[in-house]
Amino acid sequence: MFGTDFRPIFPGNSYPFRLHDSMFRQTIQKQGRLEQREKWGTLAENCSIIGTYAQTELGHGSFLRGLETTAEYDVRTREFILNSPSITASKFWPGGLGKTANHCVVMARLKMSGRDCGMQSFIVPIRDMETHNPLPGVTVGDIGPKFGYAAMDNGFLSLNKVRVPRENMLMRYSQVLEDGTFIFPKNDRLVYGSMTLIRTSIVGSCGRALAKAATIATRYSAVRRQSEIASKGGEVQVIDFQTQQHKLFTQIASAYALMNAGKFAANLYNQVSAKIEDGQLEDLPVLHALTAALKAFSSWEMASGIEQCRMACGGHGYLLASGIPQIYEDMVPACTYEGENTVMCLQTARFLNKCQEATNRGEKLPPLAHFLQAAKGNRKSGLSSSMDLTQLVAAYEFRAATASAEANSRLKAQRAEGRSEADAWNNSTQLLVQAALAFSHAFTVRAFVESVQNANFHPNVKSVMTQLATLYALTGILRYCGDFTKGGYMSDSQIRLVQDRFFDLLTALRPNAVALVDAFDFPDQVLGSALGRWDGNVYEAIMETARKSTLNKSQVHPAFYKYQKPFMDSFKAQAKL
């Protein structure tokens, strides 16, 4: 917005203009016709209006077909009438809606002469541009305290027969003509392009959030000394313990992997978007499937990884001054916003199941799904002590293919037992989620490996990054070794080789651990951490923060005289009796 960087002012993603900068403006650009982009896009770009994006409702989230907000077209006045027919139809959670936004992109179910024409996007003014009071028919406010996101005014919105001009419906793909004729989009998913874009950006954001936590924990572990390794050897840096290296280095690798996956997904989004501009829609299902599952995979990995980094800092990691709680509360909502993760996985699973059926029929698959054919035949891993990256990628794609095939087999078995399609699907969802996550994991490993192999690094840097990419791949094999040994794909001896190489890599990466997190290039102002300071003055920073506690403004707190002393004196009186 104006080229202004609000991150030093507002922590992380928690600032009131975030959805204006992202979802509101992007939806106009992606869903609006040229004249709409010129009008609304320009107003949003120069902040003549401040907007947000309202899709989620009090009673419905990821299940878009269940959304209740309606928009009916009045042919006589050439207006849409937007309505929230029940309390559960109230829009709930949009950032910036509570107190900041004066306009809103509202996702509503379009009704044309009683016919349901699906979800469409409408630009709805919600507050007076001079007084900022709600407009007639608009009930809007803040939803109250949350787990985190204190600087974000998440809000609720209820519409009571609010009218907007026909031109306020974003009509790049779907159109309503003046006479009430509805023109359907070439593909229903085109209407959800903004969601695909934001999910793509979440992947990289998760990687950066984990990178912040890993930076703090790694720097602190290089300063902190605790216990001995050898008798009478003196206290050593915590980072020299193998258990600490396991906690830290796996998260450093994961952060790099997720950021690379985010870049690859963003490039794919741009490629598919360019094709869509030319009317080529065949890659849209692949893009939707990939971004949905990647969003789930990356946010779950990020959430557990940040918590691992907090615990790696010992007791001091629990301090707000460590900076890690702020990162966690700021980013953990990614597991549920812009699509609840399990639902996202199941959307991807539908795509994978269709691809699996096509594989069974011998049909051609999209490039990103070619790996599904890897489960055919009696495959054996060629992995050796060299831990060739190409072999590691192949192993992950075999795992993903096997998981997809197992989920498909489960569905078939359920149908064969006479269950309905809905029941068969519901009874197979756990395997379907696992298949989607395995698909995402394989993509992330490949993205990391290819980024290292194709980068024009200095030989020394390439060596370290190869070690890190290998560590990332081996971490997953050890975590899910049961998946990799199914059908004898990997042997017990190969798993032992993986384990030995994993431990060797921890030792090899130790000298470069701090440099790897310094390369993320987060300034102290962004980290906001007493533990992760670049200068290493950890203990001075902790004590300085402690002294600034509001409880230290007076040496004796008023509560002592009002409550504590009378409480103690009462026992003295009893003792005398």
Question: Could you tell me which residues come within 8 angstroms of residue 132 by beta carbon, excluding any fewer than 6 positions away?
Answer: 102
Report which secondary-structure segment, H or E, holds 112.
strand 103-112
Between CA 53 and CA 121 the distance in angstroms is: 9
Residue 527, SS3 per DSSP: helix
Q: Is 95 annotated as a binding residue?
A: yes
Q: Is 323 annotated as a binding residue?
A: no
Establish whether 338 is a catalytic residue: yes
Q: Of 68, 329, 338, 406, which is the active-site residue?
A: 338
User: Hey, what long-range contacts does 357-364 have (CB within 8 A, 24 or more apart)?
Assistant: 357/408, 360/408
DSSP notation for 406-443: HHHHHHHHHHHTT--HHHHHHTTHHHHHHHHHHHHHHH
The label of the residue with tokens 């130790």 reads 510
b/e per residue 7-26 (b: at least 16 CB within 10 A): eeebbbbbbbbbbbbbbbbb
Rounded to 5 degrees, what are φ and ψ at 531?
-85, -30
DSSP notation for 378-413: -------TT--HHHHHHHHHHHHHHHHHHHHHHHHH
Which tokens is 348 given?
A: 């991807």
Which tokens is 408 given?
A: 């498909």
Between CA 309 and CA 455 the distance in angstroms is: 28
Q: What is the DSSP letter of 7?
A: T
Please, is 370 exposed, middle or buried when counting C-beta atoms within 10 Å of its C-beta (0-12, 13-18, 19+)? middle
Between CA 170 and CA 36 the distance in angstroms is: 7
The end-to-end CA distance of the chain, in Å, is 73
Between CA 217 and CA 245 the distance in angstroms is: 11
Between CA 559 and CA 567 the distance in angstroms is: 11
Which tokens is 388 given?
A: 């060739």
CA angle in degrees (0–180, nearest 5) for 66-69-75: 125
Task: Decide if 302 contacts 258 (C-beta within 8 A).
Answer: yes
Question: Could you tell me which residues come within 8 angstroms of residue 255 by beta carbon, excluding any fewer than 6 positions away?
Answer: 207, 208, 210, 211, 214, 305, 520
Q: Which parts of 224-314 fold into alpha helices (H)?
A: 242-277, 284-312
Which tokens is 293 given?
A: 């599952």
Between CA 438 and CA 202 the distance in angstroms is: 19
| Binding residue positions for FAD | 56, 95
Catalytic residues: 338
